Structure 1
Amino acid sequence: MGSDRVDPTAQKNMASQGMSWITKVRNSLGSLGKRDTPDNLWVKCPGCQEMVFTQAWQDNLSVCPRCAYHGRIGAQARFSQVLDPGFAILTAPSVPENPLNFRDSKKYSDRLKAARAANPYPDALTAAEGAIDGQPVVLAVQDFAFMGGSMGMAVGEAFVRAVERAIERRCGFVMFTAAGGARMQEGILSLMQMPKTTVALRRLSRAGLPYLVVLTDPTTGGVTASYAMLGDVHIAEPGALIGFAGQRVIRDTIREKLPEGFQRAEYLREHGMVDLVVDRHELKATLARLLDYLTRKDVA
Structure 2
Amino acid sequence: MDAWIPITIAAAFLQNLRSALQKHLRGTLGTRGASFVRFGYGFPIALVYVTALHSGAGYSLPRLSPGFLLWAVIGGLAQIYATILLVHLFSLRNFAVGTAYSKTEPVQAALFGFLLLGERLSVGAVLAIVVGVIGVMLISIARSPLSWKSIAAALVGRTALIGIASGAIFGLSAVAYRSAALALGGPNAVMQAAVTLACVTGFQTIYMLVWMLIRDRAEIGRVIRSWRSSSLVGLAGVLGSTCWFTAMALQPVAYVRALGQIELVFTFAASFFLFKERVNRLEVLGCLLIVSGILGLLMS
Shorter-chain TM range is under 0.3
TM-score (ref. length: structure 2): 0.22
More strand, by proportion: 1
More helix, by proportion: 2
TM-score (ref. length: structure 1): 0.22
- Asked which structure has the greater RCO (Cα within 8 Å, sep 6+), the reply is 2
